[in-house]
A and B are shown apart, each in its own frame.
Chain A
């Protein structure tokens, strides 16, 4: 089979694979390549070029999403087969994470009674069911957003399929680490938005105000909506990486974008906060009057800590620049 024919088949098989679960892609791709090759060899005639036969065979097989659908029943499931492994991973770990949080929230101070345990157990089961429901909704929405609708077969042109991207080594996907990070991020989102008092945060006019150890004397403010966008971006990115089973060029660039947004959040927090100014409430709790000489020392210490933000920002920028350089190099070598 000539190079052009192989390239056409390669493109087609790649596009079928995009709609299959990661663990089945290679096997199905190998089989499809072999089957198409057999059929083309069988049907090629001296009167027709090999590429023309390949195109005819691919047209007859139909659009890649339709072929993948037959392998994976994509349209019959609200959550596609490509997303199911990630969904199950998250669904399995979810009860454990909620259990850990529930154990922490048990009212130990009131003593252990059967009725308190029963209430706790009901609340735990309620939380698990609620969160599983939320997980299903998130995956269904992601699925619907990512699903490529198959074009009508009459419109399908195998020649117009884009070539597979050059191989990209985006690093190993560690599902357990990603799952842990997703849950940690969701927990932070929930705490900041619904249980701010648990972590010493309160919100005012759309701003989250929280204590940062050891800057406990300095109120740090951050625009809550920006903070939420940043964290939600991380959750969506990691869920998508789990779903795809690989770090792609796009997901790595998105990660760089989120790192930049993280810096923006950090700088916004510094900009919006009255850093170096000690909170009067905090001083009262220590029994210190504003005129107390120790207040000045504390204030200077907090300013010094704020100065550490500069190197932190530089470190963040350096890390981002390193990632960008690596991605650009990968793109350059691919080209």
Chain B
């Protein structure tokens, strides 16, 4: 599940399923964007949380695997502080997808602003 920390009274009235649907696609964009810098799963979760994008482990880690399967991310295991950690980083294909998705996001955002004005 992904939720933002600050919720207005209006946003809490939105059915959770609709809110989730709206956010799901954007989470891919957020993860790809954050992984321009190599990070392991938990540090990614924290960096997203700092940007007020709170994602639970059950959603984020399977998503990372799917993006890796789609060759948008690559990963490697590193032993750190006596613990193996899987580091993820965006691939060239992922970078191209991120650029395309960012463009889509801008267009959608502008279009929605016009519609909702």
In the assembled complex, which residues on chain A have CB atoms less than 8 Å from the CB atom of B15?
none
Contact among B59, B61, B65, B77 with A35 in the assembled complex (CB-CB below 8 Å): B61
Is A48 among interface residues, defined by CB-CB distance under 8 A? no
**Tally of B interface residues using CB under 8 Å:** 17
Which residues B65-84 have CB closer than 8 A to chain A? 65, 77, 83-84
Contacts of A70 in B (CB 8 A): 58-59, 62
Q: Is the CB of B86 within 8 A of A31?
A: yes
Number of A residues with CB within 8 Å of any CB on chain B: 16
- Would you call A262 an interface residue if the criterion is a C-beta within 8 Å of the partner chain's C-beta atoms? no
Contact A38-B56, Cβ < 8 Å, known A31-B61, A70-B62 = no
Contact B41 A35 (CB under 8 A): yes
Is the CB–CB distance between A31 and B41 below 8 Å? yes
- A residues 118-171 near B (Cβ < 8 Å) are none
The complex places the Cα of A71 from the Cα of B61 at a distance, in Å, of: 8
Shortest Cβ gap from B35 to chain A (Å) = 15
Pair B84/A30 contact, Cβ less than 8 Å: yes
> Contacts A31-B41, A38-B40, A38-B42: A67 and B85 contacting too (C-beta < 8 A)?
no
B57 within 8 A of A: yes
The DSSP consensus for interface residues of chain B is helix
Question: Are A61 and B86 also in contact (CB < 8 A) when A35-B42, A42-B42 are?
Answer: no
Judging by beta carbons under 8 Å apart, are A35 and B57 in contact? yes
A66 interface residue, CB < 8 Å from B? yes
Q: Is the CB of B58 within 8 A of A66?
A: yes
- Of the candidates B46, B56, B62, B86, the one whose C-beta lies within 8 Å of that of A34 is B86
- Say whether B62 contacts A37, CB under 8 Å: no
Total cross-chain contacts (CB, 8 A) = 41
Report whether A71 and B65 are in contact in the complex, using a CB–CB cutoff of 8 Å. yes
Q: Mark B19-63, 1 if CB is under 8 A from A, else 0.
A: 000000000000000000000111100100000000011110110
Min C-beta distance of A43 to chain B, whole Å: 11
Give chain A nearest CB distance to B17 CB in angstroms.
16
A-side contacts of B40, CB under 8 Å: 34, 38
Residue of B nearest to A1 (CB): B83
B-contact bits for A26-48, CB 8 A (1 contact / 0 none): 00001110110111001000000
Q: List 30 A-B contacts (CB under 8 A).
A: A30-B84, A31-B41, A31-B61, A31-B86, A32-B61, A34-B40, A34-B41, A34-B84, A34-B85, A34-B86, A35-B41, A35-B57, A35-B61, A37-B83, A38-B40, A38-B41, A38-B42, A38-B43, A38-B83, A39-B42, A39-B57, A42-B42, A60-B56, A61-B57, A62-B58, A66-B58, A70-B58, A70-B59, A70-B62, A71-B61
20 extra interface residue pairs, beta carbon distance < 8 Å, beyond A30-B77, A35-B61: A30-B84, A30-B86, A31-B41, A31-B61, A34-B40, A34-B41, A34-B85, A35-B41, A37-B83, A38-B40, A38-B42, A39-B57, A42-B42, A42-B46, A60-B56, A61-B57, A61-B58, A67-B58, A70-B59, A70-B62
The 7 closest A-B pairs by CB, nearest first: A38-B42, A70-B62, A71-B62, A70-B58, A35-B41, A31-B86, A34-B85
